[in-house]
Structure 1
Amino acid sequence: MKAFFIIVGTLAVALAIAGVFLPLLPTTPFLLLASACYMRGSTRLHRWLTSNRLLGPYIAAIENRSGMPRPAKVVALLLMWASLSYSIYIVPPAWAKAGLAAMGAAISLYIVFGIPTMKPRTDKGAPDR
């Protein structure tokens, strides 16, 4: 069973990395899946993931419930609305356009008001809490 968790975790990490560059592919859910799988499959891989210079801070922020940095929120909203705007433009039915816009608005409200905004860093160490 450990091998299954390691394989699924590794696939999730690959999809999370792809999600950094592809706006329609979410990064955070795949990182959380990878973290959960590695916790069950390999403590060494879980330690690697959580201490990774690029991916680790996202997982730590979620595990600590400290939130998202303001720049990350802005980038997430911009990329989401850029891809949603294109989808709304190419989808013909009006009900589909309205549904996409409603989902985008709901997700935007959640990102802005539902996820705490991390305080800016005062040094090069850990973020303020």
Structure 2
Amino acid sequence: MRLLWIVLGWGFMALAVLGVILPGLPTTPFLLLAAWAFHKGSRRWALWLEQHRLFGPLLRNWQRHRVIPRHAKVAAIGMMAVSLTYLTVWSSVPGLAVAAIAAVMLGSASWMLWCPSARPEPVAEEAGDQPDGR
């Protein structure tokens, strides 16, 4: 079973890397799925991914704070818009397929916009709330 999780992790990782290169293919969901699969199958590969130069900061931000940085949201939604425009105007993809793709993109964009863009600020304690009464 452990081998299956590792293979799934590498499959999702390959899709995440393709998402960096190909417009319209998202990176973040595949990266999160790769992290999940690696955590199930191999602590070594999970740590490698968390410490990765390119993917590590995004992944750590998500794991610790459930945050997707604003620049990542802008890039992802912008690429979805460009891809959808290409599919509608210049490709011969059937209208029903374009509508299905647009629905998935709209759902993904809505979810990303719902997620916070910055870590929450720590709440400062009010003057009378400290245990020693200061």
Please confirm whether the aligned pair reaches a TM-score higher than 0.5, indicating the same fold: yes
Higher-Rg member (1/2): 2
- Aligned CA distance change for structure 1 residues 85 and 46 (closer, same or farther; 3 Å): same
- Aligned CA distance change for structure 1 residues 51 and 81 (closer, same or farther; 3 Å): same
The answer (yes or no) to whether the contact 2:26–2:76 under 8 Å persists in 1 is no
Please name the residue that 2:74 is paired with. 74
User: Which aligned pairs between 1:1-129 and structure 2 lie closer than 5 A?
Assistant: 1-89=1-89, 90=91, 91=93, 93=95, 104-112=105-113, 114-118=114-118
RMSD in angstroms over aligned alpha carbons? 2.4
- Aligned CA distance change for structure 1 residues 52 and 104 (closer, same or farther; 3 Å): closer
Q: TM-score, normalised by structure 2?
A: 0.73
Seq. identity, %: 39
- Structure 1: which 5+ residue stretches go unaligned? 120-127
Q: TM-score, normalised by structure 1?
A: 0.75
- Structure 2: which 5+ residue stretches go unaligned? 123-134
The answer (yes or no) to whether the contact 1:66–1:118 under 8 Å persists in 2 is no
The answer (yes or no) to whether the contact 2:3–2:41 under 8 Å persists in 1 is yes
Hey, what's the Cα distance between the residues in 2 that align with 1:73 and 1:81?
Answer: 12
